[in-house]
Structure 1
Amino acid sequence: MRAPCHAHGGFLMRVLIALSAAVLLITMPFAGESSAHGSAIDPASRNYGCLERWGDDHQNPAMEQEDPMCWQAWQADPNAMWNWNGLYRENVGGNHRAAVPDGQLCSAGLTQNGRYAAMDTVGDWVAKDIANDFTVKVHDAAQHGADYFLVYVTKQGFDPTTEELGWDDLELVRETGAYAPGEGTPEDDPELGGVTVSIDASAEGRTGRHIVYTIWQAAHLDQPYYLCSDVNFTG
């Protein structure tokens, strides 16, 4: 009479193991969400900048006063920072204006079910001081390469602290050619890996606060990235 009990116990154990595996698969982040893709790291995109400044201290209440735009972003969705390198859309076919509406340029048209929506919030984002001749560094962790990069800068008179960003607010200042997968400077930082591509650009006549808007058309798929970096042109 003990054999049936043993068999029943073995069946229950197999069920528990199967359920545990299923739960693990459901709750694990997808591989690649935090280790692949990339973003503008200098001047930093909004969500990468928030991660740089607060990733090790993202629950510090001082952020609300010291860095209020990052504070609202962390409150809205911390995964926008943990997945700083996934701000892209797919199958755009080069028609960026149609895919990304005005007012949603920094979230790539509320991509990833709105994960990055807080990036569109208008306000006084931390801005990096740069010269009119500057370099955008785009990190390519997965070594996708690029069909091209487009670098835009907001027109003089646009105020990113009070105005929503639209396509008509931007001026294209640099368009590159293609980059082969793995082309760029290898990164020694273990948190990054991959390579970084440096893109020289110039924005004559700009002073004060602006947004540098970079589109990275990855080469491995029709997968463009849309990256807002806040800057202060020092002249």
Structure 2
Amino acid sequence: MSLSLRLPRPVARVATVATAAAALLATTLASGAFAHGSTIDPASRNYGCWKRWGSDFQNPTMAQTDPMCWQAWQANTSAMWNWNGLYRENVQNNHQAAVPNGSLCSAGNTNGTTYSALDTPGNWVATNIPNSSNFTVVAHDQARHGAKYFRVYVTRQGFNPLTQRPSWSDLTLLKDTGPIAPGVGETTNDPVLGGVSVKIPVSAPGRTGRHIVYTVWEAGHADQVYYWCADVNFG
């Protein structure tokens, strides 16, 4: 005689979702996600959400303590599991055509609507920057591809990320690194990150309060361009 164990429906549903998430993560890693990257300090919106909640993304506490991450997880979990895949191909250096105003944080709604929730204005968790005159952006290059350039921007004084979506005209260029050779950067022992971290010193005098630091990375191996919004609080 065979015996079967039937889980109560709520338990079974949670187990199914957790299993699906684990399968999605495994598929992401197997498909070469380690060829990609993100800004990790200040953290991009989806990297930060994954870092804070990836091991507990169904916790309803997130809705009160981290509401912008909550709405992003509810909209599409893939945006966080694939925090390192926010890019467009064949941009041909025409960023404003590839990524229209209002959709900068989703890289112009790349991959359909996967990352669209990242464009939503609101109280995203922000990295505190005590000295706006000098700080460092840390971009992570998982496959050591190097860069044709990193370009780091910050929103203009008076822009309000709590209520506004950034446009290109809202951005001030802080740094264009020019080419960076493959493998240049600090090696990390983090088994999830792998690769190297590239530190980009920048200065944003005159900025106070909430802003977005926007980083554009054209990888060195192809016409593959990454776009990252990171929320910060100056002062």
Do both share a fold (TM > 0.5)? yes
Query: In the aligned structure 1, how far is the partner of 2:226 from the partner of 2:56?
Result: 27
User: Could you say which residue in structure 1 is the equivalent of 2:151?
Assistant: 150
Contact 1:143/1:182 (<8 A) preserved: yes
CA RMSD of superposed structures (Å): 1.2
Alignment correspondent of 2:10: none
Q: Aligned residue pairs: how many?
A: 208
TM-score (norm 2): 0.86
Match of 1:4 in 2: none
Deviates more, 1:79-88 or 1:30-39: 30-39
Matching residue of 1:73: 72
Q: Which residue of 1 aligns with 2:228?
A: 227
Specify the alignment match of 2:21 in structure 1: none
Cα pair 1:34 1:82 within 8 Å, conserved:
no
The sequence identity of aligned pairs, in percent, is: 63
Helix, strand or coil at the partner of 1:228: strand
CA–CA separation in structure 1 for the residues paired with 2:32 and 2:104 = 21
Runs of 4+ with >4 A deviation: none
Query: Equivalents in 2 of 1:78, 1:210: separation in Å?
Result: 25
Contact 1:33 1:86 in 2 (8 A): no
Contact kept? 1:37, 1:141, Cα under 8 Å:
yes
What residue is the counterpart of 1:94 in the other structure? Answer: 93
The 5 A counterparts of 1:20-39 are: 29=27, 31-39=30-38
Letter paired with 2:77: P
What TM-score results when the alignment is normalised by the length of structure 1? 0.86
Tell me, in whole angstroms, the C-alpha distance in 1 between the residues paired with 2:135 and 2:180: 20
User: Any unmatched runs of 5+ in structure 2?
Assistant: 1-23
Name the counterpart of 2:20: none
C-alpha separation between the residues in 1 aligned to 2:91 and 2:69? 29
Give the structure 1 partner of residue 124 of structure 2: 125
Q: How does 1:35-54 map to 2 (within 5 A)?
A: 35-54=34-53
- Is the contact made by 1:147 and 1:178 (CA closer than 8 Å) also made in structure 2? yes
Which whole-Å CA distance do the structure 1 matches of 2:194 and 2:50 have between them?
Answer: 16
* Equivalent position of 2:175 in the other structure: 174
Q: C-alpha deviations, 1:129-149, integer Å up to 9, x for none? A: 012111000000011110001
Amino acid at match of 1:192: L
Cα distance in structure 2, aligned partners of 1:41 and 1:116:
17
Larger Rg: 1
Q: State whether residues 33 and 83 of structure 1, in contact with CA within 8 Å, keep that contact through their aligned partners in structure 2.
A: no
